[in-house]
Amino acid sequence: MRAYRMTSSGAAGTMALPVPDPAAGEVRLAVLAAGLCHSDLHVVDRGGLGWQLPFTFGHEICGRVDAVGPGVREELIGTQVVVHAPVGCGRCPRCVRGRTNYCDHRASLPAAGIGLGVDGGMADTVTVDESRLVPADGLDPSTAAALTDAGLTSYHAVTSCADALVEPGAVAVVIGVGGLGHMAVAILRACTDARIVAVDTRAEALELARSCGAHAVAGPDAAATVAELSQGRGADVVLDFVAAQSTLDVAVPLLRTAGELVLVGGAGGMIPVGKPGPLPSGMVLRLPFWGSREELVATVDLARSGVLTARTTTFPLSEAERAFAELRRGAIVGRAVLVP
Ligand code: NAD
Ligand code: ZN
Ligand code: ZN
């Protein structure tokens, strides 16, 4: 089968691999769609993030079960599923409660997720543990794949700060309306009463934000828009889906007193924290990572109820290289998804 991989020398490319057999407790999925995340670009640029190499990319997976290993119910064969992909140790209190995204041993694990240190879904097939499966029958496979990270991470990030958005007239700012950000706008709209300002450098991303329910859109100098919508108070929450130095420099001054800054992006910007200092008093800083299996079920439910969808652009798996290049040059609107 074909697989788009990070090789042991840290390069990315398509290779031929044997079709894997599911081990005990595992299923094999015929991949229907695998999302391409900006994190995959960070991984390529940083030659892996200290995980074991080689591995196949693809941490957003929708597939159809085509074989089951020993101990797994045969009735699963033929069902369409998505994969909860974060990797944890499986034994610590967080993992036992299904919060593998916050495993106590995260820093020392050889992988962060399926497709991030362990073979993922940018391939014709992939084997995963049955416990990772969430039913996704009836959903468009590309949308379903995007739910597992772009959707799940946004759901977790938004719900973690939702209590800061209950005051009447509360304002939430979403910086970076890409694969994650556009779903965050839709989730804010579905799960809170906040007024939403979407910020991006690309006109087509701002158009997408409008169609997902943003009340206002702005370029990087969003201060006037946020001031107007918040009647001069500032934003109750700023979610930064880029978190480069340039966006952090924009994000902090937008915050209201006791506002929350939620850093989702991994572009490497830094903010100095200390007292006295430039940050608003009472400010809360959050660094959410991915989401729990339970939250993935809730995210899939939002999609089934019709309030959450993903804007996707599909590429054949054989054109993985081109998809990575298009994401890198900012030519993707919404989520790029590879289809075997
Ligand atoms: P993406 O490339 O699809 O979207 C990024 C968006 O940001 C684009 O629309 C781009 O135009 C916009 N942008 C870039 N620079 C900007 C600037 N200076 N001002 C305003 N907008 C700007 O990326 P994605 O797949 O949505 O991922 C976003 C980030 O989130 C990445 O850094 C990724 O690694 C990270 N991420 C984090 C988690 C987590 O669990 N914390 C999970 C997934 C992805
Ligand atoms: Zn990702
Ligand atoms: Zn653990």
pLDDT above 90: residue 48: no
| CA-closest residue to ligand 1 atom 35 | 265
pLDDT band at 49 (very low <50, low <70, confident <90, very high): confident
Q: Are residues 166 and 134 both part of a single domain? A: no
Q: Are residues 9 and 84 both part of a single domain? A: yes
Determine, yes or no, domain membership for 37.
yes
Q: Are residues 105 and 217 both part of a single domain? A: no
Which of 36, 39, 60 is the pocket-test mutation for ligand 1 (most atoms within 8 Å of CB)?
A: 39
Check if 194 has its Cβ closer than 6 Å to any atom of ligand 1. no
pLDDT (0 to 100) of residue 9: 84
Q: Are residues 189 and 112 both part of a single domain? A: no
Q: Are residues 19 and 124 both part of a single domain? A: yes
pLDDT in tens, 104-137: 999 999 999 999 999 999 999 999 999 999 999 9
Determine, yes or no, domain membership for 295.
no
Determine, yes or no, domain membership for 303.
no
Q: Are residues 195 and 241 both part of a single domain? A: yes
Query: What is this structure's pTM?
Result: 0.98
pLDDT in tens, 213-256: 999 999 999 999 999 999 999 999 999 999 999 999 999 999 99
Check if 205 has its Cβ closer than 6 Å to any atom of ligand 1. yes
Determine, yes or no, domain membership for 193.
yes
Q: Are residues 177 and 236 both part of a single domain? A: yes
Q: What ligand is nearest to the CA atom of residue 89? A: 3
Q: Are residues 167 and 247 both part of a single domain? A: yes
Q: What CATH number has the domain bearing residue 99?
A: 3.90.180.10
Q: What ligand is nearest to the CA atom of residue 152? A: 1
Q: Are residues 127 and 162 both part of a single domain? A: no
List the Cα angle 182/39/181 in 5-degree steps. Answer: 10
Q: Are residues 170 and 275 both part of a single domain? A: yes
pLDDT band at 11 (very low <50, low <70, confident <90, very high): confident
Determine, yes or no, domain membership for 81.
yes
Determine, yes or no, domain membership for 300.
no
Check if 268 has its Cβ closer than 6 Å to any atom of ligand 1. no
Q: Are residues 6 and 134 both part of a single domain? A: yes
Check if 2 has its Cβ closer than 6 Å to any atom of ligand 1. no
pLDDT (0 to 100) of residue 8: 85
pLDDT in tens, 64-78: 999 999 999 999 999
Determine, yes or no, domain membership for 253.
yes
Determine, yes or no, domain membership for 305.
no
Tell which atom from ligand 1 comes closest to the C-alpha of 178: 4
Note residues around ion ligand 2 (Cβ under 5 angstroms): 37, 39, 149
Residues 100, 41 contacting (CB under 8 angstroms): no
Q: What is the mean pLDDT of the chain?
A: 97
When divided into structural domains, the chain yields a total of 2
Q: Are residues 131 and 166 both part of a single domain? A: no
Q: What CATH number has the domain bearing residue 170?
A: 3.40.50.720
Check if 266 has its Cβ closer than 6 Å to any atom of ligand 1. yes
Q: Domain limits at 250?
A: 154-286
Q: Ligand 3 centroid vs 88 CA: distance in angstroms?
A: 5
Check if 176 has its Cβ closer than 6 Å to any atom of ligand 1. yes
